[in-house]
Amino acid sequence: MVLLLDQRRSDVQITQEVVVAAAQNWNSGKEVMELLLNQRGSEVQITQDVVVAAAGNSRSGKEVVGLLLDQRGSDVQITEKVVVAAARNEDSGKEVMALLLDQRGSNIQITQEVVLAATQNYRSGKEVMELLLDQRGSDVQITQEVAVSIIRDFNKEVMALLLDQRGADVQITEEVVVAAAGNYRSGKEVMELLLDQRGSNIQITQEVVVAAAGNGGSGKEVMALLLNQRGSDVQITQEVVLAAAQNYGSGKEVMAFLLDQRGSDVQITEEVVVAAARNEDSGKEVMAFLLNQRGADVQITEEVVVAAAGNRGSGKEVMALLLNQRGSEVQITEEVVVAAARNYGSGKEVMALLFDQRGSEIQITEEVVVAAARNGGSGKEVMALLLDQRGSNIQITQEVVLAAAENYRSGKEVIAFLLDQRGSDVQITQEVVVAAAWNYGSGKEVMALLLNQRGSDFQITQEVAVAAARNEDSGKEVMELLLDQRGADVQITEEVVVAAARNEDSGKEVMELLLDQRGADVQITEEVVVAAAGNYGSGKEVMALLLDQRGSEIQITEEVVVAAAGNYGSGKEVMALLFDQRGSDVQITEQVVLTAAGNLDGGKLLQYLYRATSIEITDTAIQSAATSGQENTLRLFDQWTETGRVAKYWVHIARLCAAAKEGNAKAVLQLTQQGVPPDKQDIRGTTPLWHAAAQGHTDTVRVLLATNAVDVNATSVSKRTPLFWPAASSHVEVVKLLLSHGAQQNYYDVDGRSPLMIARLYGQTKVVDILASKV
């Protein structure tokens, strides 16, 4: 830097990025910043980003922050983001925080976000928290979330300090006791302190015992403490035994302790054995212990063998144990072989063991080969083993090639292997090329391989270009490759530009590439602008690019503003950009307010609109907020109207919707028992059941279905029923529940996909089998 400033001074621009980089510089941050301040001080802007970068600098944070305070103190604003960065600083967090408290203590607010940042600081979080409690204990916001985080992540000393300084503010709820029981390093000591100081407030619920049984670090010690001090309150349910069997760190120890102390209460069900077989770290140890101590109760079902075959960490060891000790009960079904082929951690080893010991029973079906082709970790190795052992019986079907093209981690390796070994059988169809273009992990590599080795076999259709434009992680790279190697074949249609505008992660980069290389073909239609405005992830960036480069073509219609109003990821930022650059064109209609009221951002965008312009709070706006679960927005409405217009009815609706989304089955049950309607559709057409099902909240789905007052086939504006997303995410129990209550499969969404089709698209074989059997 010294040389550049000395030799090429006029060419060196001291931009915001340069100053941030200096503030972040681990090894010579202070020296670089000092040089910039001394030689080009008038050009150095000390923005919040600069101070945040300095406060978060792990090596030289204290020195850089000290320099900024000393030389440019009046420009240094100590915002919440700065204090959060200091609290999260893993190496010098305590030193930076101490400096801030010493020099600017009166400007520092110890908010919930600051405390949570400290709990996430694995190296020096304890020291930061001790400093905050010691110097500013009375200012630390002790919310339920803060208390849970401190108790879960810190040791006895921090907990004692918290109780000493702010004990009256710490409510000992079930969630707090669960956090103590699950404290990995210091569970026993923290629980002991709670029992000693607040024992009368502590209820030993099933959730507490489950947390202790699943604690991978100090589970045995916590369980011993609970049984010793509150044994009569401890119930050893199946959930507790399951948690012990799943415990990756101390499963054997916890299970041994339970059998020793309360053996008659421990039931070894199929679910427990499956959990042990699936345990990636201590599966062999837990399984060996169960076979030794309670062998007569251990049934080796297909589910158990499938779990062992799919165990990514210790699959080979668990499978070898089962074959060795209970081989006559182990059936090598198609599901077992598929699970081994799909296993991306130890798939090759498990498959080799099965071939070695039970080869005559192994059937290599298309499903097995597809699973190997889709295996993101050891796909090539598993495929090589299959071809080596059973090559003449293996068909390289379109489904196999498609699965390889979709393989986000090792797609290139699997396809290259197939082309090398069985090239004449590999058909490069349109679907394969689309899958490669959409592959977010290895799309560029797969596409380059296909273009290089089989380019003459396929066309770059609109569907391929759209898939590349939609690719959220490597869209720019795939599109760049297509334009470079097959530019004349790539048609930049409206659909392609819309896909780029909608791309949540790399939308700006893809759009920038299209504008730069094929600008004359890019038409900025209303659909494009609407897609940008509704882009959750990069909407602001895409919209700013379009306004900057093609502003004269952009019409700010009601549909555009509505899309921004419904954008819960970056809607506020998009709306602010539109007001800033095209304010006179932005019309806040009733539909915009309705959409903003239903925005899932907790009322942030609506607050912006309220400050920026006049908005009318109508009954339909209240309904939109309530049915979207936005209780905070309802509170804002009450603040903004003199009469307090929001009825308790709508508050209860909001609470039920929010509880369903969060999976709080108890709250949903309580509210439905109070008569709160469980099936209100929000502005997007989704219901509490729809959200609970999409998130895989089995108990909540069960509660809602039990009301017999929900429409199991209610469709959203995207024409998706509650069955769609659990099918895509393999929430098997939810899928079964919905089907048993009348969920139909003959619904197709706006993209023409049914629940079965989307399950196949995402490779959810268990769900595919369930749905296919019901067709």
- Report how many helices (DSSP H) and strands (DSSP E) the chain contains, helices first: 49, 0
Query: DSSP secondary-structure letter at 146?
Result: H
CB 109 within 8 Å of CB 139: yes
**Residues 330 and 300: beta-carbon distance below 8 Å:** yes
And the tokens for 472? 């959220």
Residues 6+ apart with CB under 8 A from 662: 697
**Domains of the chain: which residue ranges?**
364-458, 660-774
State the Cα–Cα distance between residues 744 and 431, nearest whole angstrom.
27
Q: Judge whether 460 and 486 are in contact, CB under 8 Å.
A: yes
Q: What's 660-774's CATH class?
A: mainly alpha
From the list 232, 235, 157, 164, the residue with the least C-alpha distance to 198 is 164
Instruction: For 529-563, write each residue's pLDDT tens digit.
Output: 999 999 999 999 999 999 999 999 999 999 999 99
* Cβ contact 734:726 at 8 Å: yes
Give me 612's structure tokens.
């920026």
**By the 8 A CB rule, do 638 and 646 touch?**
yes
Give residue 585's identity as a one-letter amino acid code.
Answer: D
DSSP assignment string, 196-231: HHHGGG----HHHHHHHHH-TTTHHHHHHHHHHHHG
In 56-186, where does DSSP find H-type helix?
Answer: 61-72, 80-88, 93-104, 112-119, 125-136, 144-153, 156-166, 174-181
Helix axes 379-390, 334-342, angle to 10 degrees: 140
- In 59-109, alpha helices (H): 61-72, 80-88, 93-104
Q: CA 34 to CA 384: how far, in whole Å? A: 58
**Structural Rg of the chain based on CA atoms:** 30
Cβ pair 668, 705 in contact under 8 A: no
For residue 313, how many C-alpha atoms fall within 13 Å in the half-sphere facing its CB? Answer: 13
Model pTM? 0.80
Strand ranges in 554-682 using DSSP code E only, listed in sequence order:
none
Model confidence pLDDT, tens digit, residues 509-535:
999 999 999 999 999 999 999 999 999
Contacts of 649 (CB under 8 A, 6+ apart): none
Give tens-digit pLDDT for 671-716. Answer: 999 999 999 999 999 999 999 999 999 999 999 999 999 999 999 9
Query: For 613, what's the count of Cα atoms within 13 Å in the CB-facing half-sphere?
Result: 17
Segments of the chain scoring below 70 in pLDDT = 1-12, 642-644
Reported as type and span, the H/E element at residue 443 is helix 443-454
Instruction: Classify residue 485 by burial, with Cβ atoms within 10 Å: 0-12, 13-18, 19+.
Output: middle
Q: How far is CA 712 from the centre of its chain?
A: 26
DSSP-assigned states of every residue in 708-762: T-S-TT---TT---TTHHHHHHT-HHHHHHHHHTT--S----TTS--HHHHHHHT
The residue to which tokens 């480069």 are assigned: 549
Tokens linked to 10: 């006029």
For residues 62 and 95, is the Cβ–Cβ distance under 8 A? yes
